[in-house]
Amino acid sequence: METLFFAPGGTLRNGWKVLLFALGAGICNGAAFTVLPALPWLESATPELPAPWISFATFLGLTWFCLQLEGLPLGSVGLRLDRRWGRQFLLGALAGAGLIALMALAGYLGGGFHLARNPQAGLCRLLAGAWLYLAVAFSEELLFRGYLFQRLVQGMGPWPAQGVAALLFAAIHWGNPGMAGATRVWASLDIAIAAILLGLCCLRTRSLAMPIGLHLGWNFTQGTLLGFRVSGIPGAGWWTPIYHGQIPWLTGGSFGLEASLPCALVGAAACLALCFPVQLNVLDK
pLDDT at 284: 53
pLDDT at 1: 53
Span of 8-22, 45-59, 68-82 with lowest mean pLDDT: 45-59
Give the span between the Cα atoms of 108 and 103, in whole angstroms.
Answer: 9
Contacts of 177 by beta carbon, 8 Å cutoff, 6+ apart: 229, 232, 233, 234, 254, 255
Q: Confirm if 193 and 268 have CB atoms less than 8 A apart.
A: yes
- pTM beyond 0.85, yes or no: yes
pLDDT at 49: 64
> CA 272: distance to chain centroid?
19
Span of 12-16, 58-62, 87-91, 132-136 with lowest mean pLDDT: 12-16
Query: What is the per-residue pLDDT across 266-285, written as a single tens digit (0 to 9) for each?
Result: 999 999 999 876 444 445 55
pLDDT interval class at 262 (50, 70, 90): very high
pLDDT interval class at 40 (50, 70, 90): low
**Three-state SS string across 115-168, please?**
EEECCCCCHHHHHHHHHHHHHHHHHHHHHHCCHHHHHHHHHHCHHHHHHHHHHH
Angle at 81 between CA 78 and CA 86, to 5 degrees: 100
pLDDT interval class at 38 (50, 70, 90): low
